[in-house]
Amino acid sequence: MSDGGEHTRSYYAATANVDTNFARLEGEHRCDVVIVGGGFTGVSAMLHLAERGYDVMLLEANRIGWGASGRNGGQLIDGFVEEDKIEQRLGADAAKVAYEMGLECRDIVIERIEKYAIDCDLKYGYLDLALRDSDMRDFERTIDAKIKAAYPHAVRLIRKEEMQEYIGSDRYLGGLVNLGNGHLHPLNLCIGEALAAENLGARIFERSAVTRIRNGAAPQVQTATGTVRAGKILLAGNAYLGGVESKLSGSVIPAGSYIIATAPLSHALARNLLPHDMACCDQRAALDYFRLSADKRLLFGGMCNYSGRVPRSIAGALRPKMLKVFPQLADTRIDYEWGGNIAISVNRIPQLGRIENNTYFAQGYSGHGVAPTHLAGKILADIVAGDSEQFDVFSKIRHRRLPGGRWFANPALALGMLYLRVKDRL
């Protein structure tokens, strides 16, 4: 894990409620549980454990929320990316548990925001967008499935003739509105949860990159300047864990994702673009996603890059895509551009598992992480407390590891995504 990095120059970092400045780990420490990684998974696990009275420490190589948790599109979506694969692999009973967990992950976020009064610009309303007739058919099947499952939130299919009520763009054939999902400021959420855990007694260390992990009967985590001996280790570094745990090498593939933020828009223009202030996403493999910030900027993301190469100009690459959706922004300034890595699992299902007897991990949310990471943190806290029901659902799923680790995996995945992009265009 890299050491000492400050936040990327994102809109989120520029509007953070608090600039965290926790101490670097120095010397020898002991605790019940040590967590590696200060993103949503690690912070969620820390907060759940602190609420239960555990002596918990968290080590972050950079700053709280430094990675994908503090850089993402801020879209709060329930469920998992490939829920149907869980039923295919583990059967109907496991799929039912996974469905309920998919609802729970969103509820955990809402509960945290309300319980700890976290100011993170939460707004309800989510709009999936159709570019093809097949997308609309998929939306119809989605609504039927949700009705059968007694889905607790209002969902509605939007036809072409109604779209101007929801989005100021002629690009889409229709949409699917979900009033239970929404959007928020992810960095402020992550920092708010970390501060809540600290208030409950958790110990947080930043600029404390882990250099060595010793599993087994006496778990131990080392940094350049300190050591933590703990009863259990939770690994929550996701795309930024690096090679610190060799047994996870090659199990997830880091992929770049990028966002731009415009200058603040006038009230009239913002209302023209997104009248109901919903978060939006299309259905392509190389999707576009966008929403308004609290100060009425358009945040526009996409261009997921699986090759490992960072674009020379993020704004130069994303602005034309934004203008295809909203040509009325042709004269609008871009104030922020940033990117970062997300962790892709080969089958797109989150990975939770055990390394030896006292070390556990969660990773691989495949770009759908704000809500599932919070559930993963709870599941890791549950397994520490002896409750393995939800952990067992995910730990039974076999995940392929590509030979050659990321050096082979990234080019292979890039070729696969190129195929899907060509298929989208056809």
Q: Which pLDDT score is estimated for 420?
A: 38
Q: What is the value of pTM for the model shown?
A: 0.91
Q: Which domains does the chain have, with CATH numbers?
A: 11-71+187-252+346-395 (3.50.50.60), 124-183+253-343+405-426 (3.30.9.10)
CB contact set of 144 (below 8 Å; sequence gap of 6+): none
CA 270 centroid distance within chain: 26
Q: What gap in Å lies between CA 220 and CA 109, rounded to an integer?
A: 31
Residue predicted with more confidence, 250 or 60: 60
Q: What is the pLDDT of residue 21?
A: 95
The amino acid that residue 6 corresponds to is E
- pLDDT, position 389: 86
3-class SS at 231? strand
Share of the chain above pLDDT 70, in %: 87
Strand partners, 289: 281, 301
Dihedrals phi, psi of 392, to nearest 5 degrees: -65, -30
The enclosing H or E element of 123 equals strand 123-130
Mean pLDDT of 187-201: 98
The continuous run of DSSP H or E covering 250 comes out as none
pLDDT above 50 (res 408): no
Is residue 117 a contact partner of residue 52, using CB atoms and an 8 Å limit? no
Alpha-carbon distances, residue 162 vs 13, 169, 180, 206, 216 (angstroms) = 36, 12, 20, 49, 59
The chain-wide mean pLDDT, for the chain, equals 88
Report the pLDDT averaged over residues 11-22: 97
Q: What would the pLDDT profile of 109-168 be if each residue is shown by its tens digit?
A: 999 999 999 999 999 999 999 999 999 999 999 999 999 999 999 999 999 999 999 999
Q: Which residue has the higher pLDDT, 218 or 45?
A: 45
* Residue 199 CB burial class (10 angstroms; 0-12, 13-18, ≥19): exposed
Closest Cα partner for 71 from 61, 63, 79, 82? Answer: 63
Among candidates 117, 180, 100, which has minimal Cα distance to 393? 100
Taking only the tens place, the pLDDT of each residue in 344-357 is: 876 667 888 899 88
Phi, psi values for residue 130, rounded to 5°: -105, 130
Q: Is the pLDDT of residue 42 over 80?
A: yes
Query: Dihedral angle at the C-alpha atoms of 206, 17, 79, 250, nearest 10 degrees?
Result: -30
pLDDT band, residue 415 (cuts 50/70/90) = very low
Nearest to 131 by CA among 160, 104, 166, 88: 160
Residue at token pair 């250099």: 211
Beta bridge partners of 33: 56, 232
